[in-house]
Amino acid sequence: MLVAFVQVALFTALAPLLVGVTRQVRARVEGRVGAGVLQPWRELRKLLMKQPVRARGSSWILRAGPMVVAISSLVLAALLPLVTTVGGRLAPGDLFVVVSVLLIGAVALALVGLDGGTAFGGMGSSRHMTVLALVEPTLLLAVYALSIPTGSSNIATIVDARLATPAIIVSPVGLLAMAAMIIAVMAETGRLPVDNPTTHLELTMIHEAMLLESSARDLAWLEFGSWLKLTVLLGLVGNLLAPWGVATSNDPLAVVIGMAAAVGKVLVLGAILAVAEVLLAKVRLFRVPELLAGSFVLAFLAVAVSAMVS
């Protein structure tokens, strides 16, 4: 129980840092100085101290939605085996539950976008929901493929099995499933090549368009929620790709090692992500389905192959 809260606290602290690191790496690769890795922290503090401005006619969704986004990410941080595979069993949850918690946050964000009553917000949530609907098959098939070697869709069990027999990770099935999973995670968290987190150009933006009507603490929760989601999902990808270091007991030493390993994996993945984003261009919105169809095929192959080669 306590370990799960340690994990949530760690990732809460880590999320702004991760975003700071990716921005800094990106800036350095592009030849800029960058604002420093602590800048997201300062932004959050600034936003929480400001007075929110809200449009007349906006409903409670504009106030509650951002909190739901943040809470859904916190629940993700509690459910997934990031620091330890023991804490993940706190609430009986599996990957389908995790996906549904992701969806709750996404829906709250889309409703916030619509509630402003402007063209930008609606545009953002429309695109966001379309991408989400198309990611869903890939994500669930990847989950299916990951669950086959262990016969369970419980994510902690899957990580445990990968730790015990690393051959699963490098098997063709495992690689295909991970490739599909990574594309799905990129789409889910609104990174390149699906969405550009730094743009404010109406033709291309998805995530940012939904935030335009939010200010102060509303904006803080929305930003924090999306940062935490990115961090947690990177943590998950890290533990699926390289499960070593994750704690398998509640032993304090193991937990500390687990925490260090989690921070390391997330930051390394964040840096890789930043470099990859410099090299990648955003694809056109209507080419996104093709990208997702590709990752769907990978996931489908993974399941079909693993089902036939037993």
Partner 1 sequence: MTAVSWAMLLQFAFAGLAAALALLPAERIRSVLSGAASAVMSAVGVVTGVLAMNGVTGGLQFAVAVPAVPLTFAPDRLGGLFIVLASVIGLLVAVYGAASVRGASASRTAWFALPLFLMGMQLVPAAADAVSFLLVWEAMALGSTVLLLAEHAGSSRVSSAAVWYAVMSQLSFLFILAGFGVLSAAAGGTDFSALSAVAPASPPALLAFVLLVLGFGSKAGLVPLHVWLPRAHPEAPSHVSAAMSAAMVKMGIYGILLVVVRFFPGGPDWWGIVLLVLGGGSAVYGILQASVSSDLKVLLAYSTTENVGLIVLAIGASVLLTAHGITAAAGAAMLAALLLVVSHAVFKVTLFLAAGSVLHATGERNLDHLGGLGRRMPWTAAAFGIAALGAAALPISSGFVSEWVLLQSLVHGTRVGGAAVSVIVSIAMPIVVAVVALTAGLAVLTFVKAYGIGFLARPRSAAAAGAHESSRVVRAVLIAGAAGVVLLGLVPGPLATALVSVLPASGTPIVESAGLLGVNLPGLGAVLDPLVLVILTAVLASFVIIATLRSAWRNPQRIDAFAWGGGGERAQPRMQYTATSFAEPVVRVFDDVLQPARDVEVTHAGESRYLVNRVRFSQSVTDIVESRLYRPVLTVIDRFGVVVRRIQNGSIHLYLLYSFAAVIVVLVVATL
Q: What part of residues 161-220 is at the interface with partner 1 (CB under 8 A)?
A: 202, 212-213, 216-217
- Cis peptide leading into residue 193 (ω within 30°): yes
Closest approach, Cβ 135 to partner 1, in A, equals: 7
Q: Closer to partner 1 at the Cβ: 160 or 277?
A: 160
Q: Closer to partner 1 at the Cβ: 114 or 273?
A: 114
Closest approach, Cβ 296 to partner 1, in A, equals: 7
Angle between helices 216-241 and 155-164 (to 10 degrees): 40
Q: Closer to partner 1 at the Cβ: 246 or 301?
A: 301
Closest approach, Cβ 19 to partner 1, in A, equals: 19
CB proximity list for 228: less than 8 A, separation 6 or greater: 11, 12, 15, 70, 73, 74, 76, 77
Centroid of chain to Cα 179: 15
In the list 14, 18, 86, 135, the residue contacting partner 1 (rule: CB under 8 A) is: 135
| Residue 31 φ/ψ, nearest 5 degrees | 85, 20
In the list 15, 82, 148, 177, the residue contacting partner 1 (rule: CB under 8 A) is: 148
Nearest CA to 157 out of 98, 102, 95 is that of 95
Closest approach, Cβ 229 to partner 1, in A, equals: 14
Listed as own residue / partner, the contacts of 58-63 with beta carbons closer than 8 Å and 24 or more positions apart are 58/115, 58/116, 58/117, 58/213, 59/115, 61/108, 61/111, 61/112, 61/115, 62/112, 62/115, 62/116, 62/213, 62/214, 62/218, 63/218
Q: Closer to partner 1 at the Cβ: 6 or 140?
A: 140
Closest approach, Cβ 208 to partner 1, in A, equals: 12
Indicate whether 297 belongs to the interface with partner 1 (CB under 8 A).
no
In the list 27, 29, 35, 140, the residue contacting partner 1 (rule: CB under 8 A) is: 140
Interface of this chain with partner 1, residues 51 to 110, rule: CB under 8 A: 51-61, 67, 70-71, 74-75, 78, 90-94, 96-97, 100-101, 103-104, 106-107, 110
Centroid of chain to Cα 159: 18
Q: Closer to partner 1 at the Cβ: 15 or 141?
A: 141
In the list 32, 38, 46, 49, the residue contacting partner 1 (rule: CB under 8 A) is: 49
Read off the tokens for 160: 């445990």
Indicate whether 291 belongs to the interface with partner 1 (CB under 8 A).
no
In the list 13, 38, 133, 278, the residue contacting partner 1 (rule: CB under 8 A) is: 133
Residue listed under structure tokens 């260090």:
260
- Interface with partner 1 (CB under 8 A), residue total 84
> Per this entry, what is the length of the chain?
310
Indicate whether 160 belongs to the interface with partner 1 (CB under 8 A).
no
**Interatomic CA distance for residues 266 and 160, integer angstroms:** 19
Closest approach, Cβ 149 to partner 1, in A, equals: 9
- CB count in 10 Å sphere of residue 45: 11
In the list 21, 37, 134, 205, the residue contacting partner 1 (rule: CB under 8 A) is: 134
